[in-house]
Structure 1
């Protein structure tokens, strides 16, 4: 069973990396969801709630007021996707490498997290080679946060499973 989990995990790591490579190869114009949002969310749902949110990201204040409703929603979706895809990558890397580090809980989290962070940095570099896109250190930090959350979730779940089996 363990070998099957490891093989599937590596397959999922590769699949996520292929999605990331493809995505970072696309220009912003090829990737933007603004036309979709404008077409299907004309009534601007949750605009009042979203209008009360604002924060600095990448040296720019992000808000509905500054960016407009559709661009701000797209920004939230894009950054949520960054965090989520790297959460998955961190989780799959953790599953793939989990049994390599017998009783070293620190390495069970640290190695997958740092591997995903390195891949995030490479992905941002690759994105910088694509027209109309710019690499951002903030995105690597966001990706890294997603990866550590994914790794911690997997380690916690597997720890609880192992603990239950020991009882």
Structure 2
């Protein structure tokens, strides 16, 4: 028995894989996920600390700076937020690539993919709330949604460039 998977189906499968990864990640406590011990072990000498000490930001009412949280937690903050953005960038991209050719209106496909990504991000934060030792944040939902939107917009931009190049060749 041979199973034929279409390109759009493969993207939908990848979107569900991303959702599974996010679900598993949300099921873990902060202490199970922290990268601080890894950073402490492999970033000896605290590279760029003098440069990074100049930066401070407010995220969800908390100051994020080396002075406030320490060097390794400061780095971990950006790693964690980058993971938020990146995973939802991929989720939004995969969803869009999986459904865009199945809908007649591309902008509607993009809009639905952003809404679906935001909805999943909200349920993901709720899941973190009931996991314990995690802090669900509305700001993370917005960061996740921004990641999904950027992924979808990049897909649309690449598609437009591809179509323009293809038209010039013909």
TM-score by length of 2: 0.92
> How many residue pairs align between the two structures?
164
For 1:54 and 1:107, locate their aligned partners in 2 and report how far apart those are by CA, in whole Å.
39
Contact 1:108 1:155 in 2 (8 A): no
Which residue does the alignment assign to 1:139?
140
- Measured after TM superposition, the shift of residue 122 of structure 1 is 0.6
Alignment of 1:44-55 (within 5 A): 44-55=46-57
CA RMSD of superposed structures (Å): 1.3
How many Å apart are 1:4 and its aligned residue? Answer: 2.2
Match 1:36 to one of 24, 35, 38: 38
Q: Is the 8 A contact 1:98 1:108 kept in 2?
A: yes
In structure 2, what is the equivalent of residue 70 of structure 1?
A: 72
1:21 is aligned to 23
Deviations 1:7-65 (A, max 9, x none): 11011101101100000000001010111111111211111221111111011111111
Mark the runs of 5 or more structure 2 residues left unpaired by the alignment: none
TM-score w.r.t. the length of structure 1 is 0.93
Q: Equivalents in 2 of 1:165, 1:112: separation in Å?
A: 26
8 A Cα contact 1:94 1:155, kept in partner: no
Partner of 1:153: 154
Unaligned runs of 5+ residues in structure 1 are none
Match of 1:91 among 90, 93, 99: 93
Q: Which runs of 4+ in 1 moved over 2 A?
A: 162-167
| Residue 107 of structure 2: aligned partner | 106
